[in-house]
Amino acid sequence: MEYRSQKVAYWYFAAALPLFVLQIFLGLYLAFSYTFTVPQAVVDVFPFATARAMHTNLLVLWMLLGFMGGTYYIVPEETGSEIYSEKLAFLQLFALLAIGVTALAGFFLGWTKGRPLLEIPPPLNYFVVAGALLFLFNVGMTMVRASRWTATQGTLLGGLVFLALLYLFGIPFYRNEVVDWYYWWWVIHLWVEGAWELVTASIFAFVLMNLTGVDRQVVEKWLYVEIGLFLFTGIAGTGHHYYWIGAPRYWLWIGGIFSALEPLPIVLMLVDTMNHIKERKNPIVNRLTWTYAVGCAVMHFIGAGVWGFLHTLPQINYYTHGSQVTASHGHLAFFGAYALLNLMTFYYAMPRLKGIREYDDTRGKYGFWIMTSAMMLMGLTFGVAGVLQSYIERVLGLGFMTAQSYMRLWMGATFFLGLVFLSGVLTTVTDLLTIRPKARA
């Protein structure tokens, strides 16, 4: 840690971690509900839809807190200056946490807008906008005041502004269901396949540059290529969500072709990471951050690139749309690209923020491998359930509940693997919060 104000990042990370744990408990409840019969009295109080809204909103909340903390850590080093206002950064953290807790309590009481992932109702979502503006103002002012610009920091700011702007399209109420879903995808798709990718690419570039000591020009040159490709394929690729919602037919072509190209920038990112790691100049301290960096590049490729490609062509999506195949991809992609990216950032920054140079990474390694293997297997069990579902419902044309009875075994496997995943999460979270210097031999 070189700048005093970077310390706020620690609190963003520390706030994100318990929310991650809570997200997993809700995921377990969801998988449990697919496998066992939950008593009606419990369902009346805590329906599946409520738990699902909590599971996914917690996911978004902890990851956004992670991105924001990451930004507060990176920007001082990139600009060579303290954060514009530390007080504002803390105020914004408390505001977001307060909004988050209110939203979750609200879902529980049935206060929801109902649109998946964007359930936060008005007027609460105006507070989200206010929080985001506070954040962008603080980060922007830091950059303007320092007036030192780098590609990494520019991409980061660009991605964050894009992310905030897109949220606005999810706020209005559209009378026409087609229009409603049309804009819903602007938020969901253009977040994860656009804005979040830019934020990820820049955070990844920062960590790689610092870990490997590879020259800034080399890392940033790739950054330009990657963001160009991400935007080119990602924006037109939105079409892969317009196949069956009542939008014009040309989306079948546009969506199919451009989204089939989406794995390209992800492959580039993987190859690029491997190259930088080979060319490294710095000696290796704390191998765990490396493990996360490589793990993130590989799992990002598998979850988003391969699993995304598998069901992105309309000829296949016609059968798999909205099935557990989608959930399989959603889990692998979110985990690979964004959970691992955030955890990599935490492992990079948290020891430094505590002034620890070398730490004991035994527990952390267990955490990584347990989580990653369990999630990979969960991707497969969700996937088998999804293929059965697609085949029974859409090829054989049998009923919803007939398909459910065949899927049950695989959702049960997902639940048990979820318990293993939970043990990995608990190990990782405890390790991050109680990280200690390496004992001298």
Q: How far is the CB of 178 from ligand HEM (least distance, A)?
A: 16
Q: How far is the CB of 327 from ligand HEM (least distance, A)?
A: 4
Quote the radius of gyration of the chain (alpha carbons, Å): 21
300 binds Fe ion (CB under 5 A): no
Instruction: Count CB atoms within 10 A of the CB of residue 7.
Output: 16
- Residue 234 or 351: which CB sits closer to ligand HEM? 234
Q: How far is the CB of 301 from ligand HEM (least distance, A)?
A: 10
Closest residue by Cα to residue 203 from 131, 306, 297: 297
* Nearest residue to ligand HEM on Cβ basis: 308
Q: How far is the CB of 408 from ligand HEM (least distance, A)?
A: 12
- Tokens 């953290």, residue located: 93
CA distance 159 to 308: 22
327 touches, from Fe ion, ligand HEM, none (C-beta below 5 to 8 Å by class): ligand HEM
Which parts of this chain interact with ligand HEM (CB under 6 A)? 24, 27-28, 30-31, 34, 52, 55-56, 59, 116, 192-193, 240-241, 259, 262-263, 304-305, 308-309, 311-312, 317, 321-322, 326-327, 329-331, 333-335, 337, 339, 414-415, 418, 421-422
- Residue 125 or 259: which CB sits closer to Fe ion? 259
Residues numbered 19-48 forming contacts with Fe ion, rule: CB under 5 A = none
HSE-CB for 330 with a 13 A CA cutoff:
17
CA distance 30 to 50: 10
Structure tokens at 56: 């996914």
- Residue 19 or 192: which CB sits closer to ligand HEM? 192
Instruction: Count CB atoms within 10 A of the CB of residue 440.
Output: 5
Q: How far is the CB of 133 from ligand HEM (least distance, A)?
A: 25
- Residue 7 or 394: which CB sits closer to ligand HEM? 394
- Residue 75 or 192: which CB sits closer to ligand HEM? 192
- Residue 198 or 288: which CB sits closer to ligand HEM? 198
Stretch that binds Fe ion, among 185-193, 387-395, 416-424, 428-436 (CB under 5 A): 185-193
- Using the rule CB under 5 A, which residue among 52, 55, 115, 189 binds Fe ion? 189
Q: How far is the CB of 421 from ligand HEM (least distance, A)?
A: 4
Stretch that binds Fe ion, among 146-154, 188-196, 213-221, 428-436 (CB under 5 A): 188-196
Cβ neighbours for 354, distance < 8 A, ≥ 6 positions apart = 10, 435
- Residue 327 or 429: which CB sits closer to ligand HEM? 327
Contacts to Fe ion by CB under 5 A: 189
